Amino acid sequence: MASFFKTFFKGILYIVLLPFIALLLAIYFVYCLVVFLYMGVRCIIVFFAGGSPLGDLPEDVKAKEILAAQAQNLVLQQQTYQQYPSLNQTQQPYNQGPYIEPTNVAVDNQINEFDESKNSDSINEEEPFND
């Protein structure tokens, strides 16, 4: 009889607790859906704004610091070693000579050969052999 009451009360307990369990699962589902939509919209906005949607990793932050320090050093070096032209110097313009068209020697040779061959087609006017 004890096993009957044990099974009976477990059934009653499950029937009473089932709506609360279903309610908790439904609330958790709605929470996950809201977080999913919020993160999707947020990532799209941050992406098109030019940022990183997932945030910066510690390695990324350190790399940006190193690059910023290098850029600062480069700017300081350029400011230190920049030479200013004196006021009495004027910049000379680049003198470019006249344009000379390139010639194609191979084409010129072919034209000359054609002109010479025009005369070679004529009948040979040499004296025939006298035997």
Nearest to 55 by CA among 41, 40, 38, 43: 43
The per-residue pLDDT for 25 is 97
Asked whether the whole model's pTM tops 0.75, one would answer no
pLDDT for 126 equals 57
Q: Can you give the pLDDT at residue 98? A: 67
The domains of the chain are located at 10-49, 56-80
Mean pLDDT across the stretch 107-126? 54
* Reported confidence tier of residue 94, pLDDT bands at 50, 70, 90: low
Mean pLDDT score of the chain: 77
Sole residue written with tokens 């052999």: 129
> What counts of helices (H) and strands (E) characterise the chain?
3, 0
Cα–Cα dist 69/106, whole Å: 60
